[in-house]
Every structure is written in structure tokens, then in C-alpha cells.
């Protein structure tokens, strides 16, 4: 499903799948933001690439918003195909060690396949890939190494948000991501939400639920209010 020019949704609730995956066409290369849970999501990604006529553009990069199984479970598959996998420092370690921070315990019957090498990204780091600059923004809390990724397309600031924010209704309200990860940090989460409450954002592409095609900054401001109520003790 195309959500913006050169950005496609290839997984998530509209596909009957748990987690959203997004493909960005950077002209000379394709980028994945998160890569899904299992083989079924790989098929959806492949189908989306073919349907939108992108099959001749090499897929070279997977940026993980965090290391949870439903977002990073296919990372080893893509690594084995020569794709570079990126994640925040702590989550890069989790994905390479298949530690409990990948929450394999939540997906009985599945085994997380550890990557051999994940490139650790840092706050404010920028990557020029084809015709697109990808900016990494560290937002620890949901996991220790959670990241947002921001790009600019068609004059809009687009945020790939993972589980940092869960939107409600018709993108009119927001709440926090799941708090069951072994490395969940409520205080750190509050600081991260405070940090990005005024971030320039138009479109929020979230790991679960529907994409929010406008008012991204307002949603982040709503999230700060929710975090103050829920996390400040």
C-alpha cells in the first residue's frame, strides 16, 4: 500500500499482520524500516516490491526502530541476503545475541535468529542513501535502544516511529508503547517523550495501527501529556 510518494506500507493490521513494515524508494536503493516477524511478512514485503515495480532496485538497508521480535524477527534473513541492518546501540546488541530483550518469550514456537553484525546508530546520526537523508533520533524507554527515523518527502517530515507512540481512534489521541520488555525504562521513556514533544513532524508511520498522515507534531505533544500522567511518579 502506498502511503506517500516513494513510501509503501508492507505489513501491519491492514494485511492481517501484527507489525507494520515500511519500504522507502531512495531512487538507487530500497530501505526497509523494520522487517517484521516471520516468513509471512517477508512474502508481503516481496509482493509489495513487485506490485509497485520496484523489483529492479536493490534492497540495501534495514533500519530497526527497536529489537523486539515482531519488528526485527526477519533481520537475519535480510542480513544473509547482504542487506545492512541498523539499530540503536543497546538493541543492536540484543539482536546480535538474541537476548530476552528481543522478547522471544512472547512468541512461543518461534526462535529469534540472531544477526552476526548490526550497525549501531547514534542520536542525530544522518545517512545519505540515494536521494534521501535518514536521520536517527534516540528515544530510549520502550527499549533501551529505541530509535525514531525521520526523512523528508514531498515537503513533509515523515517519522518512522515503531512502538514509541500508539495512536488511538482516527489519529486524534496517543498513548505509550508496551511496557513489558525486560529493558523497559519508564523514566527514560518520559525523558524521550519530553525530548521530541516539539519535534518537527508531519506524518507518523507507526509500528502498529494506522498511519497518521498529518498532525504528527500534535500527536507527539499529546503523547507528552499522556507520559506525564502515566510515567511521572
**pLDDT (0 to 100) of residue 169:** 81
Residue ranges in the chain whose pLDDT is less than 70: 233
**pLDDT (0 to 100) of residue 168:** 81
**pLDDT (0 to 100) of residue 155:** 93
**pLDDT (0 to 100) of residue 233:** 65
Domains of the chain and CATH, by start: 2-231 (3.60.15.10)
**pLDDT (0 to 100) of residue 55:** 98
DSSP letters, the chain, are -EEETTEEE-SSGGGT-SS--EEEE-SSSEEEE---SSHHHHHHHHHHHHHTT-TTSPEEEEE-S---HHHHTTHHHHHHTT-EEEEEHHHHHHHHHT-GGG-GGGSTT------S--EEE-TT-EEEETTEEEEEEE-TTSSTT-EEEEEEETTEEEEEEETSEEEETTTTEEEEPP--STT--HHHHHHHHHHHTT---SEEEESSS--B-S-HHHHHHHHHHHHHHHH--
pTM of the model as a whole: 0.97
Amino acid at each position: 500500500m502506498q502511503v506517500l510518494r516513494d513510501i509503501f506500507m508492507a505489513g501491519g493490521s491492514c494485511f492481517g499482520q501484527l507489525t507494520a513494515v515500511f519500504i522507502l524508494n531512495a531512487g538507487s536503493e530500497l530501505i526497509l524500516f523494520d522487517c517484521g516477524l516471520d516468513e509471512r511478512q517477508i512474502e508481503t514485503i516481496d509482493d509489495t516490491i513487485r506490485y509497485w515495480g520496484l523489483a529492479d532496485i536493490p534492497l540495501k538497508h534495514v533500519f530497526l526502530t527497536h529489537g523486539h521480535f515482531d519488528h526485527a524477527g526477519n533481520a537475519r534473513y535480510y542480513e544473509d541476503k547482504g542487506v545492512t541492518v541498523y539499530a540503536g546501540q543497546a538493541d543492536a546488541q540484543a539482536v546480535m545475541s538474541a537476548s530476552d530483550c528481543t522478547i522471544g518469550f512472547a512468541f512461543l514456537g518461534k526462535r529469534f535468529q540472531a544477526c552476526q553484525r548490526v550497525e549501531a546508530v547514534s542520536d542525530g546520526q544522518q545517512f545519505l542513501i540515494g536521494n534521501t537523508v535518514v536521520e536517527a533520533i534516540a528515544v530510549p524507554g520502550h527499549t533501551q535502544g529505541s530509535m525514531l527515523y525521520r526523512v523528508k518527502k514531498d515537503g513533509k517530515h515523515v517519522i518512522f516511529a515503531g512502538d514509541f507512540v500508539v495512536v488511538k481512534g482516527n489519529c486524534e489521541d496517543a498513548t505509550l508503547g508496551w511496557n513489558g520488555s525486560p529493558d523497559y525504562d519508564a523514566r527514560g521513556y518520559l525523558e524521550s517523550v519530553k525530548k521530541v514533544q516539539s519535534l518537527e513532524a508531519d506524518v507518523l508511520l507507526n509500528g502498529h495501527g494506522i498511519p497518521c498522515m498529518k498532525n504528527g507534531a500534535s500527536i507527539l505533544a499529546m503523547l507528552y501529556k499522556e507520559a506525564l500522567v502515566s510515567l511521572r511518579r
